[in-house]
Amino acid sequence: MSAPGNGPGNGEAWLEERLRPSLAQKLRIDKQLYRDKTEHQDLIVFEHQLYGRVMALDGIVQTTEADEFVYHEMMTHVPILAHGAAKRVLIVGGGDGGMAEEALKHPLERLVQVEIDRTVVDIARAHLPSISGGAYDDPRMELLIADGARYVQETDERFDVVIVDSTDPVGPGEILFSREFYAGCKRCLTPGGIIVTQNGIPFFERYAVENTYRRLGMLFSDVSFFLAPVPAYIGGFMAFGWGTDNAALRRQPVELIAERFKVLGIKLRYYNPAIHQAAFAHPQFLVDILEALDRDAG
């Protein structure tokens, strides 16, 4: 992030998120609520006319009140409902609490969240309480402030679903895209369990899709992506990595997903069973990328 500076001649403060050497987006900081350098990263929370409250880390928008529901609903409900019998879920990252809030809408027995930066959790709870809701007070949840990469290598616990809600593959989030980390996640998955990962915007970040597809493909027999458009993450739809050894979980009929969803008795803002099924359909440019990787691997 370039330091919040002045807009063109009007004295306004802006967050400039530099996405590529030739591409950036700018969000006006209508009111800065918090900014400081944590032990791990630069953290700012501010109010924005369209997005509501926004949290950014190292100049990269992480979540906004206006559109967080798309990201959090898809990354939790797709794997948990696809699994069909998930009782134990691990979240790596997810300091804003949105992933935990959505996961706890399911009848889980245990939810563990491993977040490296305590300040992110504390500031999100203070300034973005609507995102986590009451998740951190739920007795089924345990929050660990620790290194997620080390945790998956060392824990004796096993999980049905692992959700990797990481920052981008730079700084403290870089290791969460490595083969070693994915191997640790598989180590603590139950047989037939599912891992899902934040995988960026494939229109601009083809390398992220390619790297994840290769690395998960070394560990799981069924690897793919599902998609959702998150307005604050510009450049088109976001890809979420998917890995499991049970290929049937990705190809279940919409009627079965609908039955499972109905039992929850909840209404969401983005996710529904039809979106669940459709999210695994890929535009042709992504089909071409994955087919090329399959040919290279073969």
List the catalytic residues.
165
- What are residue 118's phi and psi, to 5 degrees? -60, -35
Q: Burial of 138 by CB count in 10 Å (0-12 exposed, 13-18 middle, 19+ buried)?
A: middle
Q: Burial of 139 by CB count in 10 Å (0-12 exposed, 13-18 middle, 19+ buried)?
A: exposed
Q: Helix-strand-coil percent breakdown of the chain, rounded to 5? A: 35, 30, 35
- Cα–Cα distance measured from residue 208 to residue 106, given in angstroms and rounded to the nearest whole number: 30
Amino acid at 294: D
- Is the Cβ–Cβ distance between 145 and 121 less than 8 Å? yes
Q: What is the DSSP string of 209-225?
A: HHHHHHHHHTT-SEEEE
